[in-house]
Amino acid sequence: MQHRPNDQCGLLQNNQLIFISKAKEQYQLSTTIWLKKYDLDNVPIFFSSSYEEKNKIALEQKVDYMIDDKIPVLRSMDTNIKKIWFCTDIKKIFGLAKFELQFFNSLIVAKNWYEVTSVFDL
């Protein structure tokens, strides 16, 4: 991902945060290097092999909110998990709203990290 959470806004200070990454084994090291680069290597990370496994991990870890940039991941999440769609592409946002309004309305759409943090009243 190109963007990262700004810790000055309190997201990491006031919430338990975990990463669930669908990454093949050969990419897991680059993911952990990215986390270290942005001082996020203290956040627990869980690797999965499928979107469904992401959901299983989220349920096991009692996740309240799932933030993802991929609609298939958010579709796979349990209905009790609130879904934040991180999307900067306004055409994708309008397209989903136009063609899948019911699913779109079940999402919180965030176009940047400030909008993500506003969900948590930070």
* Tens digits of residue pLDDT in 11-31: 556 667 889 999 888 999 999
Per-residue pLDDT at 121 exceeds 80: no
Residue 50: phi and psi, rounded to 5, are -155, 165
pLDDT above 70 covers what percent of the chain? 86
* β-pair type (19-22, 45-48): parallel
Domain at 7-119: CATH code: 3.40.50
Per-residue pLDDT at 39 exceeds 50: yes
Per-residue pLDDT at 91 exceeds 80: yes
Return the exposure string of 23-46: e unless at least 16 CB atoms fall within 10 Å of the residue's CB, then b.
beeeeeeeebeebeeeebeeeeee
> What are the domain boundaries of the chain?
7-119
* Residue-level pLDDT at 10: 54
